[in-house]
Amino acid sequence: MSADTKQNTITIDGQEIPFLAGQTIMDAALAAGVYIPHLCHRQGLTPHGSCKLCVVDIASKSVTACTMPAMAGQQISNNTPALNEARKTITQMLFIEGNHICPSCEKCGDCTLQAMAYHLGMLDGHFPQFFQRREVDASHPTVMLDRDRCILCELCVRASREVDGKNVFDIAGRGTNAHLIVNSTSGKLVDSDLETSDMAAHICPVGAILIKKSGYKVPIGQRTFDLHKVSEIGLEKTILTKVRQPDE
């Protein structure tokens, strides 16, 4: 390996990984087939750093891998007991903050949050359940919004703005009052320009945004995370491509 090449590498858990100028730690890791847990990150969308599952350690500093630029010589810890325990705690908090009733949810087996819980060895919610009651918007002819399951990852917000060229969704409020809103005159999906083919209608990692009249077409046991591990590199792109295919 040349000296120039060595200057453009980082080390994750002892593995030397090349990177290109402008790449984040997450970009470089995924390109090299190294999995860093995440929920709010999707390649091609502006990094957000909201879920905090991708936090890694560089020396004594903790940073989000999806927003931290890769810099030559970084010694990064990712797959450690301490970090994975913190990730499990975050995942437990996401479960109890919303109403995620996996056995009866249409997204069971296709839910990235559920798959993350399995990946991290989560056995229960640990914390008291919030039992939030948030508005369900079923006004749109083909898409429904169940805010009870929203984890505030802002994937739909970014997808609508950056890919669909619209501005359908946003987050309003702060702290426990933060919630997903629809940018329309009435605040309802029916008065927005959301279309079934939009990426924003399919990118939700949980069951907050669902396509109507399409539920339970794939039996339990044959769904994405019944057949794949959440840690498989490139799986998210495969999922998104599959769900946006028109019905035959």
Residue-by-residue DSSP string for the chain: --HHHHHTEEEETTEEEE--TT-BHHHHHHHTT-----SS--TTS-----S-TTEEEETTEEEETTTSBP-TT-EEE-S-HHHHHHHHHHHHHHHHHTT--GGG-TTTTT-HHHHHHHHTT--S--SPP------EE--SSSEEEEGGG-----HHHHHHHHTSS---EEEES-GGG-EEEE-SSSSSGGGS---TTSGGGT--SSSSEEETT-TT-SPTTSSHHHHS-TT-TTHHHHHHHHHTSPP-
Q: Does any domain span residue 98?
A: no
Q: How many domains does the chain have?
A: 2
Residues 64 and 13 grouped into a single domain? yes
Q: Does any domain span residue 85?
A: no
The answer on pLDDT for 48 being more than 80 is: yes
CATH number of the domain encompassing residue 206: 3.30.70.20
User: Taking a C-beta distance cutoff of 8 angstroms, is the pair 41, 54 a contact?
Assistant: yes
Residues 175 and 113 grouped into a single domain? yes
Q: Does any domain span residue 47?
A: yes
Sheet holding 136-137: strands in order across?
Answer: 136-137, 143-146, 209-211
Q: Does any domain span residue 87?
A: no
pLDDT in tens, 120-159: 999 988 888 877 778 899 999 999 999 999 999 999 999 9
Residues 112 and 216 grouped into a single domain? yes
Residues 71 and 112 grouped into a single domain? no
Query: What is the domain extent for residue 216?
Result: 106-227+235-243
Using pLDDT thresholds of 50, 70 and 90, give the confidence band for residue 108: very high
pLDDT in tens, 219-248: 888 889 999 999 998 887 766 665 555 444
Q: Does any domain span residue 90?
A: no
Residues 131 and 189 grouped into a single domain? yes
Q: Does any domain span residue 86?
A: no
Q: Does any domain span residue 175?
A: yes
Which residue is associated with the tokens 């927003």? 67
Residues 146 and 29 grouped into a single domain? no
Q: Does any domain span residue 91?
A: no
CATH number of the domain encompassing residue 28: 3.10.20.740
Tell if the pTM clears 0.85, that is, is over it.
yes
The answer on pLDDT for 88 being more than 60 is: yes
Residues 54 and 160 grouped into a single domain? no
